[in-house]
Structure 1
Amino acid sequence: MSEPTTSGDASGPLLEVTGVTKSFRVPRNASGHTRLTALDGVDLRLGRGETLGVVGESGCGKSTLARVLLLLERPDSGTVRFDGTDPFSLRKKELLAWRRRVQMVFQDPFASLNARMSAADIIGEPWRTHRDVAPTARARETRVRELLDLVGLRAADAHRYPNEFSGGQRQRLGIARALALDPDLIVCDEPVSALDLSVQAQVLNLLSDLQQRLQVSYVFISHDLSVVRHVADRVSVMYLGKVIEHGPTEDVFDRPVHPYTSALMSAAPALDVSGGPPRGDRVLLSGEIPSPLDPPSGCRFRTRCRQAADKCAEQAPPPHTRDGAHEGLCHFPLSAEPPRAGPAVGAASADR
């Protein structure tokens, strides 16, 4: 088995997820249990120095996907390949070396930091496990100053505690901790949702600058479509455990294949100061998200889709590919033409 800390084929993807499923045993009632399928045949591909945005409503499986990528959950089936290696097959020293390459930036910039530790201790905590990165006290002090400077904080901040930082500064501290082991991939789970709007922009610009300087890759999970459009090279849209559309960011946002993606984009707030006509139809979805304990047959979105037909209940939709790199799972894919202006429309509900 090859050493996981060495790079594989530089021309290949950094991360490939193929057919990954993950379910959990949950109580049904007082007398039994059932299975909740959080991921159902998920495919992802991430290039080196690239940002993949993952979007979808709450409960669609985004956080479970993040836990699988971090090896906190083992998939029931499917494969995860990181730089050509299956990380779930690694053991002991090889696994420890691999964990240096994938790090995390959390949603809450305060809860994810130990309030009893100084900034220097927080940044240096990974080195307690990976001692070869900063083997001496002098090396650790030097590296802490470098990382603080890298994320826009001062060397003097090393002795401050989390409660002495603002929200944006705390998130910068969390980013510095994620960079302490020189990772190839950082999983960002809603990294700016808890921050003020102006601070969001600063943190997003910081992540972009770091990517250009360090060639680090991001899996960027977010509910905020405007944020994803700003940072992501490609987007995967999830619904009830499935990736129902993926492709280049501009294609997915401007020419969606799947009706659900169109509804998401329609719901995203936008400021139009051009004085021109509206961007397009306002797509209103009716009904609640189905329970993942009992998803609809066929197409999982059909119970909220305005163009659902009988075949949507009978068959799982096949992939529809547009322009080679843009794919969606739908029996009736949307036109490649940008939507025209029109009145608001409602979604017809369908029987499960």
Structure 2
Amino acid sequence: MSEKTTSGASGVSGASGATSAPLLEVDGVTKSFRVPRNAAGHNRLTALDGVDLRLGRGETLGVVGESGCGKSTLARVLLLLERPDAGTVRFDGTDPFSLKKKELLAWRRRVQMVFQDPFASLNARMPAADIIGEPWRTHRDVAPTARARETRVRELLDLVGLRAGDAFRFPNEFSGGQRQRLGIARALALNPDLIVCDEPVSALDLSVQAQVLNLLADLQQRLQVSYVFISHDLSVVRHVADRVSVMYLGKVIEHGATEDVFDRPLHPYTSALMSAAPALDVTGAAPRGDRPLLSGEIPSPLDPPSGCRFRTRCPQAVDKCAGEAPQVRARDGVPGTRLEPHEGRCHFPLSIEPVGTRSAGR
């Protein structure tokens, strides 16, 4: 992978040392949905609860967590498909939810999406050239002229590793990896600043996954596009992300530089996730019996546990965990890392306070 753009907590620093504001800022975003009332009488499902994120220009933010943690809802909020109940989203210093008509249309050009299923996200009745050019039908003011359109389609096909002759083929004539390349070309047609990638390689074979990931990295280096990369595959996230946010039941419970989160996790949930991920090289890995084990199922988001939401599955939970919601505790980045401080939402972060100093009980 190519070297990433250097970033900081309050901005992004390039090679020249200049600092600029983050491209994307999410502060305290909450989103809930009304659902049928359950046996306990609850009818509000909180998908996002006080989510904070930062994304710099030319940077990749990985978002990981189990199914139902709120990753897809977060993507929908970032794409303005859902309006948050509380909190703010700022894109390049502007609240996109406040925009109207032409300003909103112009904003939508700057944020695009690559979907999980490279076949379902493409119109099977349209050739590749029409699929790539489909965004220009809505955004007419930036669409190429009829004469330049064919040239631009060929440029985009070449950019994603497809041939000019592929412009006349239909989605069913492409392989899975080629279809995802076509979806990426469509996302690039409007020259976006941010692409939200929702499980973009999970439907592909492993060898094809590597090709698509390398393509995304190459495009980022050439175009300085930013990614929010949502995935359940930890090995993929480690390969592509500058920073990682770990979600659990609607909350970001850990955030930091990728190497910090993977190698020195602060939250017990993150530690369990990392230890459970398969690895070819287990040199220095903890023996199986020493790895953190989780018990029980994920609680219902309709009725989350009091205090720390992870406490019902945490092997190290104590009374304090049930009675008091943990605040974010930060640890300065390890010398040599380029990114913002490492943070965890836990009363007893693993790398700050030894387990032996905690009180027993639940």
TM-based fold match above 0.5: yes
1:168-221 deviations in Å (ceiling 9; x for gaps): 000000000000000000000000000000000000000000000000000000
Once the two structures are superposed, residues 136-168 of structure 1 have per-residue CA deviations (whole angstroms, 9 ceiling, x without a partner) of 212211110000000000000000000000000
Which residue of the partner structure matches residue 157 of structure 1?
Answer: 166
| Preserved contact between residue 54 and residue 219 of structure 1 (Cα < 8 Å) | yes
Equivalent-residue separation in structure 1 for 2:294 and 2:244 (angstroms)? 21
Q: Percent identity?
A: 90
- CA RMSD for the aligned pairs? 5.3
Secondary structure at the counterpart of residue 316 of structure 2 = coil
> 1:273 and 1:282, CA in 2 relative to 1: closer, same or farther beyond 3 A?
closer
Whole-Å separation in 1 of the counterparts to 2:349 and 2:284: 31
Measured after TM superposition, the shift of residue 282 of structure 1 is 2.1
Structure 2 gap segments, 5+ residues each:
7-15, 327-334
Cα shift at 1:135 = 3.7
- Structure 1 stretch displaced more, 11-20 or 23-32: 23-32
Q: What displacement does 1:82 show?
A: 0.2
The 3-state SS of whatever aligns with 1:302 is coil
Distance 2:96 2:244 in 1: 24
- Which digits, 9 at most, give the CA deviation of each residue in 1:311-346, with x for residues without a partner? 1000000x9999961000001110269xxxxxxx99
Over 3 Å counting, the alpha-carbon distance change for 1:93 and 1:5 in structure 2 is: farther
Tell me the SS of whatever aligns to 2:312.
Answer: helix
Question: What is the deviation of 1:16?
Answer: 0.2
Q: 1:350 to 1:38 in 2, by over 3 A?
A: farther
What is the rounded CA distance, in whole Å, between the counterparts of 2:213 and 2:136 in structure 1? 26
How far apart, in 2, do the equivalents of 1:241 and 1:50 lie? 23
Once superposed, which parts of structure 1, at least 4 consecutive aligned residues long, lie more than 4 Å away? Answer: 1-10, 29-33, 273-280, 319-324, 345-352
- How far 1:273 sits from its partner (Å)? 6.9
Query: Cα distance 1:102–1:4, how it changes in 2: closer, same or farther (>3 A)?
Result: farther
Moved more, 297-306 or 138-147: 138-147
Distance in 1, Cα, partners of 2:307 & 2:337: 19
Query: Could you give the per-residue CA deviations for residues 110-147 of structure 1, whole angstroms, max 9, x where no partner exists?
Result: 00000000000000000001112224212211110000
Question: Quick check: 1:105–1:186 contact (8 Å CA) kept in 2?
Answer: yes
The C-alpha deviation readout for 1:54-98, integer Å capped at 9, x for no partner, is 000000000000000000000000000000000000000000000
**Contact 1:304–1:348 under 8 Å retained in 2:** no
3-state SS, counterpart of residue 185 of structure 2? helix
Note closer, same or farther for the CA distance 1:33–1:333 as it changes in structure 2 (3 Å cut). Answer: closer
**Residue in 2 that maps onto 1:316:** 325
Which residue number corresponds to residue 5 of structure 1?
5
Pair 1:40–1:29, CA change in 2 (3 A): closer
- Normalized against structure 2, the TM-score is what? 0.87
Q: Is the 8 A contact 1:5 1:101 kept in 2?
A: no
Asked if structure 1 preserves the Cα contact closer than 8 Å seen for 2:4 and 2:59, the reply is no
1:304 alignment partner, SS class: coil
Give distance in 2, aligned partners of 1:275 and 1:2: 27
CA contact (8 A) 2:72 2:198 kept: yes
Residue range with higher mean Cα deviation, 33-42 or 202-211: 33-42
